[in-house]
Amino acid sequence: MKKKKKNQNPGRARGRAMALRVWCPRTSRLALAVFQQDLKKAECRTRSTTTALVKIKFLDYLQKNFRATQAFQLFEKTMQRWRTKSLNSFYLEAKVRYGQETSSALFILACGGGVRLKEHTEWFRSDENRMHSWDVLNYSGVPIEEVDLSTTAVNFSSFEHIGELQNVKVMSLRDCRHVDDWCLTCLNVYRHSLEELYLTGSSLVTERGLSALCHLRKLRCLDITGLPFIINKSLIKVLLEDALPDVTVIIEDCA
């Protein structure tokens, strides 16, 4: 019978390495490297074991406190509805006071995105904590030409605040995990201005949603790389370029 190897104690391995350095100053670097490698392996085993125990305890807690978990989820949904209602009322008031363009710009910045105004080269962007400057209020009434909502949590309801913009030429929706086919149907309002659209990595988009883009007659560039639900990529590219003769479709695996 083979004896099972016991997990090495990180403290013991560290002590062996320190003793080796103190009492054997002429020991080769290779021996020290072996002890350091053993130490890292022992620490990784300890860390993975701790993570597994935490997961087990968490699942056990959820099982024993099922009603409390349901109450917490209900509270979270209630708070989400309250925040959405508060945001809607705020941006409706901003629309009345500053106009549609400025109200939409504030909403985009609050979502963590960025905007570029017409005849301006600089961008207005929010930081990692969605904090932004209020300098955009100084440009009340100036149309928005470029919108960057990449990696934000925008969804179908978000287009209520940005769906009335009439001068948007470029829109980026890269890596937006909540953007789906319904969101693409909302882009029909930009059919007279939108020239570039980037949907890279928006994993919920399918062929049905892309078919709604055929109304964007001024579209010149369409990036649909990284969409897992698009199976026949070559066919989709041909159909889009046939429906929109002036568009350049960017998609992977197409020679």
pLDDT digits (tens, 9 = 90+) for 114-123: 999 999 999 9
Report the share of the chain in percent with pLDDT over 90: 38
66-to-53, 62, 70, 80, 252 alpha-carbon distances in Å: 20, 6, 6, 21, 45
**58 with 131, same domain?**
no
CATH number of the domain that 231 lies in? 3.80.10.10
Pick the more confident residue, 178 or 16.
178
Identify the residue whose tokens are 């409706």. 92
Residue 53: pLDDT above 80?
Answer: no
**162 with 242, same domain?**
yes
**Within-domain flag for 124:** yes
- What is the rounded average pLDDT of the residues 122-142? 86
Specify which residues 196 forms β-bridges with.
Answer: 170, 221
Q: Mean pLDDT in the chain? A: 80
Contact 118, 143 (CB under 8 A): yes
pTM: 0.66
Contact 186, 156 (CB under 8 A): yes
**36 with 129, same domain?**
no
**Within-domain flag for 168:** yes
Instruction: Give 121: exposed, middle or buried? Use CB within 10 Å, 0-12, 13-18, 19+.
Output: exposed
248, containing H or E segment = strand 248-250
- What is the rounded average pLDDT of the residues 104-110? 90
87-to-84, 94, 106, 107, 179 alpha-carbon distances in Å: 5, 10, 11, 9, 20
Q: What span, in angstroms and rounded, lies between the C-alpha atoms of 104 and 111? A: 11
Residue 191's CB: how many other CB atoms inside 10 A? 14
Containing domain of residue 193, as a range?
103-250
